[in-house]
Amino acid sequence: MNLKNLLNKEKIKSWLNERTRISNPPLKRTPDYMRKWGGKWYWTGALITIVFLYEVITGLVLLLYYNPSDPYGATQYVLNSIPYGSLLLSTHLYGAYAMIILVYVHMFRNYFAGAYKRPREIQWIIGVILLALTLGAGYFGYSLTGDVLSYDAQDVGKGIASSIPVIGNLLVNIGFGNGTPTSLFSRFLGWHIIFAGLIFLLFGYHFYLAESNSMLPSGKISNYKAPAITEDSLDMKPWYPYNFIYMVELGMFTLGFVILVPSILGMIPSVPILLSPFPGPPQNSLAASSIPAYPPWFLLFAYKAVDFSIFQGPTSYLQAMTVFTLIPIIYFLAVPFIDRKESLHPLDRPIITSFGILSIVYLIVLSIWGAFTPGVIISIPVMLEVLLPPAIITIFSMLIFSKLWRDGKLSVKQRDITISFYIFITGLISSIIAFSIFISDTREFLTLSFSIRLFLLLGSISFFGIGTVKVTPSLPENKIKTFPGIGYVMIAIILVLSWIIALNAIRLNPYHQAMLVGVALGSIFILSGISVAIYRRIVYKE
Amino acid sequence: MNDEIDNSRRNFLKLLVAGSALAAAGMSLGVIVQTLSPPPLGISSFPSLLLVDQNGNPIKASSLPLNSPSALQFNYPLQNTPNFLVNIGDENGNPIRIEPVEVLIPATGEKYTSFGGVGKDGSVVSYSAICQHLGCIFPYLRFYPAGVQSINLTGKNYTNVFHCLCHGSTYDPVNGGSVVTGPTVHPLPSLKLVWDQSTDELYVSNMVGPTIYGRTSDLTGEEPIAGNSTSVVNSGNPFQ
C-alpha cells in the first residue's frame, strides 16, 4: 500500500466516521422549518446547553484560582494578576446571567406552547427543578467573590433560611457552615459546584427525554392537540451535517454575545452595581457603606416581596418566600396535572396563559421595584395597587380574547402572540424603569394612577399588536437565487475581518486590555456565526 | 445534495467559513490556555531590606542579646521564608568574630564563600531557618548557644550549633552554616548582613549557599515582601 493510498481523503473520512460516529449521532432528525429563521424558538434548550458548557469551562479555570480563606483576595488576583483574568471572571458571571434568562425564556416558551402536556409531563417537571437549581447555583456563585454584595446575599439567604421554623437553624448550618468566613466560602464553593453537577445530571435526563419525546412540533402540524410528536420521517435531512452546522451557528452567536456584552460593559465606567461585570468593593470598606444591601438581581423579586408589610412577625421572610417563590414553583411543577386538556393553543387555555403572563409581569415588576427601592417597606394598599391591576387586566382580556378566538372572530398565529409579547415586555420594562426613577424620590407615590396607566397602555398596545403584526415569510424563494454572489463576498470579507481582528487582539495587553480582547473575541464569534448562517443559506437553502 | 452549487465551489466556501471559525476557536484556545497559567511569583534580584522590630523601629545591632536561645526570625528574600538572626559568643560570654569561610555542599561537592559576621564585634550572623534536610522549621530547628545549651550526639557534646530535632541534622553557624552531622547533605544558606556603623542599624541584602529548601529558586514561589524593611519576630525560647 503506498502513501497516496493511505492518505486518500475518503478513506480517512470513513475510517474516522466508523470510529467516532460523528456523522450519525444518536440524535433525532428535525424538520426543516425548525432550522428556518423564525425557528429559533425550537432551540432555546440548545442555547442553554451552549451557555452551560461555557460556564463549565470558565468555571473550572476559575476553580484553579479560588481560595475560600481569602475570597476577595482570590477574586482580585484573578482580575488583576491572571492574563485575561478579568475577561474570564466577567464572562463567567454574564454567562450565568444569560443562562438564567434563557432558562426563563425556555420555560415560558414551552409553557405557552403547552409543551408540558402528554407525553412530556416528567420532562417539564425536571425542567422546573433545573430552573431552581440554576438559580441556586447562580446564588452561590454570585456569593463567591467576597465583595459587599456577596455578604449581602449571604445575609438575605441566612435570613430566609433561619425564618423557617424548626429546621431553620439546621438549614443555615447546612447552607452556610459553622460561622467562620472560611467555612462560609468553602460551603459557597462546594454548593456552587454541587448545584452545577446536579444541573449536569438532571440536564442529561431532561435532554434524553427531549430526544425520546421528540421536539414539540409547530401548532400547524400538531393541530394544537396533545400528544404532539414530531414523527421521524425519511424525508428529513440527516442530523449531520444539517443540524450539526446549525448548532455551530447557534453556538457562535450565543458565545459571541456572552463574551461581547460583559466586555463592553466592562469598559464603560460607572455601570450600576447590580449589572456591573466586576465585583463590588470589599464588605469592610468605606465604599461598601454607600451600597444598599442587594441580593443578586435574579433574586430581587423575592427580596422585594420580603418588604411587603402584609408579611409580618418573625416568619415574615418565610411568608413572603412561600407566596412569591414556593407557591409559584409548586404551581409550575403541578401545571401538567392541573391543565390536562389536550388543547395546546394559548387562547384555548385563557387562565393558564394568564398565569404565565402574570408570572412574567410580577417577576419583572418586583425585580425592578426591588432594585430601585431596596428595603423600603410597602404598605398593603400600595402593594394591591401595583399587583392587582395587571392580574385583573390580564385575566379579563385573556378571557375576552379567548372567547373571540373560539367564536372564530379573532385569528392569531403563534408568532403574532410572541411578537406582541415582545412589545409588551419591552414596554413594561421601560415604563417601570421610568416610573421607578420617579418613585425613588417620593417613595410612597406608587399609586393607582401609575399602575392603571401603565397596564392599560401596555396591555392595549400588546394585544392590539396581536393579529395586526404581519408575519414576514422567512426568506422567500426568489431571494435565495440572488444570494450566492453577495454571500461569497460577505463570507470572504468576514474571513479577512476575523483574522485582522484576531491578529490585532492577541497583541493587546492581557491584563488591562483584557476587556478589549473580549470585544474582539465576541465580535469574531458573531462574525463567524453570520458566516455559517450565510453558508447554510447558500448551500443548504436554509 | 445540491444541484446548483457544484462540489468544488462548495468546498471553497466551506474553507472560507472554517477559516473564520478557526480564528474564533484559535483565539479562544489561546485565551483559555493563558488564563490557566498564573504569572510566576517573585522578584528578579535580592532586595536590600532594613531589619525592624514589630513596631517598625530599626533593630540596633548592639541590642541583640549574646548567646540567646530565643529565636529571632525575619523573612527574606520573600514572604514565608524565615531566617535566624543570632549574635554568637563563646562559653565565657565574649563575642566571636565570624569570618567568611569556604563552605562545602556535600551533596554536590561544590563550594561557596559564606558571609561573615557584622556589628561592633563581627558576631551577628543570619542563616536560613528552614532545615535543608526536609524543611523543618523553628522550634524543631533551633540554636544551641555556647554556655547555655548543648546537644549530645553519638556521645559528643555540640554547642554553638543549629540542630534540627526532626531528623538530627546539625549546622555550624561559626563556620558559614556548614554541615556538622547528617542526615542533611546541604549547609544552611548564609545571608549577607550590612551594618551601618553610624546608626547601628542592620540591613539584609543577599544570600548564598544552596537554594532555600522547597523552592526552585530563592527569588520565586512566594509573594514579595512589601516595602523596604522586614520585621524581626522573637519566637521565644524553645528550651523552656
CATH assignment of the domain containing B183: 2.102.10.10
Same domain, A54 and A176: yes
Same domain, B200 and B154: yes
Q: Which of A428, A447, A470 is the last residue of a domain?
A: A470
Same domain, B188 and B154: yes
Domain assignment present for residue A296? The answer is yes
Parent domain of B33: 1-37
Count of residues in chain A: 542
Q: List B residues 31-90 in contact with A (Cβ-Cβ < 8 A).
A: 31-32, 34-39
Q: What is the pLDDT of residue A468?
A: 41
By C-alpha distance, which of B8, B32, B13, B39 is closest to B221?
B39
Domain assignment present for residue B57? The answer is yes
Q: What is the pLDDT of residues B194-225, one digit of tens each?
A: 999 899 899 999 999 999 998 888 898 888 88
Partner-chain residue, chosen from B5, B16, B34, that has the shortest CB–CB distance to A84: B34
Residue of A nearest to B10 (CA): A539
- Give me the mean pLDDT over the B45-57 stretch: 89
The number of distinct structural domains making up chain B is 2
Parent domain of A539: 232-267+479-542
Same domain, B230 and B112: yes
- Give me the mean pLDDT over the B89-110 stretch: 89
Question: Which residue bears the cell 463567591?
Answer: A144
Residues of A in contact with B16 (CB under 8 A): 491-492, 495, 531
**Better-scored residue on pLDDT, B7 or B187:** B187
Q: How far apart are CA A50 and CA A214, in angstroms?
A: 19
The number of distinct structural domains making up chain A is 3
How distant is the Cα of A541 from the closest Cα of chain B, in angstroms? 9
Domain assignment present for residue A76? The answer is yes
Domain assignment present for residue A206? The answer is yes
Q: How far apart are CA A412 and CA A415, in angstroms?
A: 8
Domain assignment present for residue A28? The answer is no
Q: What is the pLDDT of residue A417?
A: 63
Q: What is the mean pLDDT of chain B?
A: 88
Q: What is the pLDDT of residue A461?
A: 52
A87 part of contact set with chain B, CB < 8 Å = yes
Q: Which of A470, A498, A519 is the last residue of a domain?
A: A470
**Better-scored residue on pLDDT, A428 or B66:** B66
Q: What is the pLDDT of residue A34?
A: 84
Helix or strand run (H / E) with residue B191: strand B190-196
Residues of A in contact with B23 (CB under 8 A): 495, 498-499, 501-502, 524, 528
Cross-chain Cβ contact B16/A499 below 8 Å: no
**Better-scored residue on pLDDT, B74 or B4:** B74
Reported as a pLDDT band with limits 50, 70 and 90, residue B157 is confident
Percent of residues, chain B, with pLDDT higher than 90: 35
Radius of gyration of chain A (CA): 25
**Contact partners, residue A59, CB within 8 Å, separation at least 6:** A92, A141, A193, A196
Q: What is the pLDDT of residue B185?
A: 92
Pick out chain A residues at pLDDT < 50.
440-446, 448, 464-478
Q: What is the pLDDT of residue A327?
A: 94
B19 part of contact set with chain A, CB < 8 Å = yes
Reported as a pLDDT band with limits 50, 70 and 90, residue B186 is very high
By C-alpha distance, which of B162, B171, B183, B178 is closest to B113?
B178
Give chain A's count of helices (H) and strands (E).
Answer: 20, 0
Domain assignment present for residue B1? The answer is yes
